Amino acid sequence: MSHQTLEHMEGAMESMKPLLPILHWLKHPGDSIYKDVTSVHLDHLRVYWQELLDLHMEMGLSIEEALMYSFQRLDSDISLEIQAPLEDEVTRNLSLQVAFSGATACMAHVDGIHLHVANAGDCRAILGVQEDNGMWSCLPLTRDHNAWNQAELSRLKREHPESEDRTIIMEDRLLGVLIPCRAFGDVQLKWSKELQRSVLERGFNTEALNIYQFTPPHYYTPPYLTAEPEVTYHRLRPQDKFLVLASDGLWDMLSNEDVVRLVMGHLTEADQHKTDLAQRPANLGLMQSLLLQGKASGLHEADQNAATRLIRHAIGNNELWGRMEAERLAAMLTLPEDLARMVQG
């Protein structure tokens, strides 16, 4: 956000006026603590933008610096919140669950032709590119932060003693536990053993909260995990047609080329549909007919959304035949929640 936007938001809060409609909070159906959590998030967000305003006044931040600062600041807040005394039990339990869970992230900042992408973990961003000859290709904008990334492996070895070179990555996982080498949370790979014991001994029912308590072997010099993002820059060109950001759940099932092909197909079909409509005389009868067709088509209307098409092909993809199968998709979507995470994750 620009300095002017941050000032506008702070002024709105001070005068108790509505905020700009730029903040959209994720709400899950049946979420009984949505309002409480949203209030906490807004309080934290205000503290953050106040600090940004101070930083702008003191030194100014480039886009790359702002993205790196925001990732690291969020991870610091996740870690510090549960270390502070919290009176409300719901907030305390939620903060503990968040701190001991992990999440990778990838975000993009677009300003005209200037594109910055910040990535921490094994999320990925790619551009769909259409050359002058009509051929499509993909342009990766990020690198996965895992054991197969030699630059990431070298970084980890630089940050820890040489005696840990053989143990820092085991079985292609960080300390033999985690595939991504960068992530928010997962404090069991960041905190010292003493700090973990100190926090967990405050009377939490860790079993009821599904807190994963496990100190990996060879845990000598934490932190091993970081949320510092790798920021890349790309100057957008006319041939850059679309940007896809997704987690490893998609990339584990579909290649970069598959994703570009599916989105390209979606865009082509959408353009053809618009052309067909433009060539037909518009009247109430036609509109009624189109509405009825839309209702009758049911789930197939999901392809009006390029992201939904990607998800359906990722989940319902038959690797043997290389195509999406409706039966497999239905079976995967009806798995019990605990089993679905193991199968789809």
pLDDT band at 298 (very low <50, low <70, confident <90, very high): very low
- Compute the mean pLDDT over every residue in the chain, rounded to the nearest whole number: 83
pLDDT at 313: 86
**What percentage of the chain reaches a pLDDT higher than 70?**
75
Distance CA(217)–CA(98), nearest Å, equals 23
pLDDT at 234: 98
pLDDT at 91: 81
**What amino acid occupies position 206?**
T
185-230 pLDDT, tens digit per residue, is 999 999 999 999 999 888 787 776 777 667 888 999 999 999 999 9
pTM of the model: 0.78
Alpha helix (H) residue ranges in 15-62: 34-58
pLDDT at 38: 65
pLDDT at 273: 58
What is the separation, in whole angstroms, between the first and last Cα of the chain? 33
pLDDT band at 75 (very low <50, low <70, confident <90, very high): very high
**What amino acid occupies position 228?**
E
181-197 pLDDT, tens digit per residue, is 999 999 999 999 999 99
- Residue 140 region by backbone torsions, left for phi larger than 0, else alpha for psi between -120 and 50, else beta: beta
Distance CA(69)–CA(64), nearest Å, equals 9
Find the range with the poorest average confidence among 68-77, 245-254, 334-343: 334-343
Tokens of 337: 């929640």
Higher pLDDT, 142 or 337: 142
**What percentage of the chain reaches a pLDDT higher than 90?**
48
Cross-strand partners of 245 = 125
pLDDT band at 299 (very low <50, low <70, confident <90, very high): very low
State the burial class of residue 16 (Cβ atoms within 10 Å of its Cβ: 0-12, 13-18, 19+).
exposed
Higher pLDDT, 239 or 201: 239
Arithmetic mean of pLDDT, 152-178: 97
